[in-house]
Chain A
Amino acid sequence: MIRKDAIKIASDMIDDSPIISANGYISRDLFEANDKDTNFYMIGSMGLSSSIGLGVALKNPRKRVYVFDGDGNILMNLGSLTTIGKLKPKNLIHLVFDNQSHESTGGQPSNTRNIDLYKIAKSSNYKAFKTNSKTGLEKILRKIKNIDGPIMILIKITKGGKPSKRIIHSPVTIKKRFSRNL
């Protein structure tokens, strides 16, 4: 399963819940698969999608808040897992699309080839799930609808696929429409 397919499956199943997506190809894939007012495409500030998601989750307890993260991104902000694990927001669902590389910058290897993010999430008070298949991902996304967070879904993906188009909205437009729909 390549990232684009995984992002399409996940965003199709999420309806109108807020999604905060990491910079690079993850935001571009989400934009191409399912552009919605409830998506916050993070363009710069690498590593911070889970932190932005935490802020949104804490202030919108009635909404399920989804973070679309990458392995390179979360490795830059592992401290975020401990802050989330300490605060335990019930409505935060953290998806990590893990291709074990920095694909947006040319496919350089990342540390998740050697280190198990699933275990780190578990020891940070997350309820953690992992999969490497489309059916597995669909099953987990259905299952977690009735489970309190924080939840991490570690999705092992393979590299490849044509890069998605760039996001056409300006950052201020992304902010305004996201904020209006919270």
Chain B
Amino acid sequence: MFDLLLHKGIKNFIGVPDSTMKHFISQGLKKKKILVATREDEAIGIAVGMSLSKQNSLVFMQNAGFANSISTITSLVQLYEVPIIFLIGWRGYLKNDAPEHSKIGKIQPKLLKAVGMDSKTVTESNWKQCCKWAINKVNHSTPCALIIKREFYD
């Protein structure tokens, strides 16, 4: 998935690590294309600066970080219409995930809808279409989100 997005013209990958997408991040680190920020809103700020420089950018985070970022999304990304792909790990998707994830995991789809962010949930079979859909969105100046369900425990 990382290689496809890179190949399709996403130049910058900025975010806060999430175990749900650790393989994605490892691949990016191997290719020296990942910038790790201290907070999700900081990552979005950096990505906006890069997008203003005409380079498509992706911001990765856990859904807890998405909740942290809502004001930045509404008052920066959406207000200025900056096309960014959000890659969001969905903790709390499984009912018996760690307790801190249960509430946010439950409201995650409603939250995206309330924010007005178009999104697709990535699966084993549709990930290529999802990536192409997201690239098409940012090429038409619209931010969007790809959601990765957390379907394992560690």
Is B123 part of the contact surface with A, judged by Cβ < 8 Å? no
Which chain A residue has the least Cβ–Cβ distance from B46? A55
Assuming the A-B contacts A20-B49, A54-B46, are A48 and B55 also in contact, with contact meaning beta carbons closer than 8 angstroms in the complex?
no
Question: 8 Å CB contacts to A: which residues of B8-67?
Answer: 12, 35, 37-39, 41-55, 57
What is the bound-complex CA distance between A163 and B43, given in angstroms? Answer: 31
Please tell me if the beta carbons of B75 and A52 are within 8 angstroms of each other in the complex: no
Q: Is the CB of B49 within 8 A of A45?
A: no
Q: A109 at interface (Cβ–Cβ under 8 A)?
A: no
How long is the Cα–Cα vector from A44 to B79 in the complex, in angstroms? 9
Provide the bound-state CA to CA distance between A52 and B51, in Å.
Answer: 10
**In the assembled complex, A110 has its CB within 8 A of some CB on chain B:** no
Assess A59 versus B41: contact at CB under 8 Å? Given A45-B75, A48-B72. Answer: no
**Beyond A43-B79, A175-B81, is A52–B52 a contact (Cβ under 8 Å)?**
yes
Interface size on A, residues (CB 8 A): 33
B interface, over-half SS: helix
The answer to whether B38 touches A40, judged by C-beta atoms less than 8 angstroms apart, is no
Q: Which of A45, A60, A87, A172 has a CB less than 8 Å from the CB of B41? A: A45
Question: Which bracket fits the contact residues of B?
Answer: 20 to 34
* Docked-complex contact B52 and A172, CB < 8 angstroms: no
Chain B residues with Cβ below 8 Å from A131 are: none
| In-complex Cβ contact of A51 among B42, B55, B79, B82 (8 A) | B42
A87–B12 Cα distance when bound, in Å, is 15
Report yes or no: A52 in contact with B48, Cβ–Cβ below 8 A: yes
Q: How far is the CB of A29 from chain B (nearest CB, A)?
A: 20
Distance of A51 Cα from B79 Cα, bound (Å): 17
Contact (Cβ within 8 A) B38 A80: yes
Contact A175 B82 (CB under 8 A): yes
B54 touches A48 (CB 8 A): no
- A binding-site residues for B, Cβ under 8 Å: 20, 40, 42-45, 47-60, 77, 79-80, 82-83, 87, 171-172, 174-175, 178-179, 182
Residues in B with CB closer than 8 Å to A43 are 75, 79
Q: When chains A and B are docked, how far (Å) is the Cα of A48 from the Cα of B65?
A: 16
Note all chain B residues with C-beta closer than 8 A to A42: 76
**Contact in complex: A54, B49 (CB < 8 Å):** yes
- Chain B residues with CB under 8 A of A172: 80-81
Given A48-B44, A54-B46, A174-B80: A82 in contact with B38 (beta carbons within 8 A): yes
Q: How far is the CB of B59 from chain A (nearest CB, A)?
A: 11
Give bound CA distance, A34 to B56, whole Å.
30
| Distance in angstroms between the alpha carbons of A179 and B54 in the assembled complex | 7
A45 pairs with B46, CB closer than 8 A: no
Q: Give B57's nearest chain A residue, CB to CB.
A: A55
Partner of B49 from A55, A79, A82, A174 at Cβ < 8 Å: A55
Say whether B136 faces chain A, with CB atoms less than 8 Å apart.
no
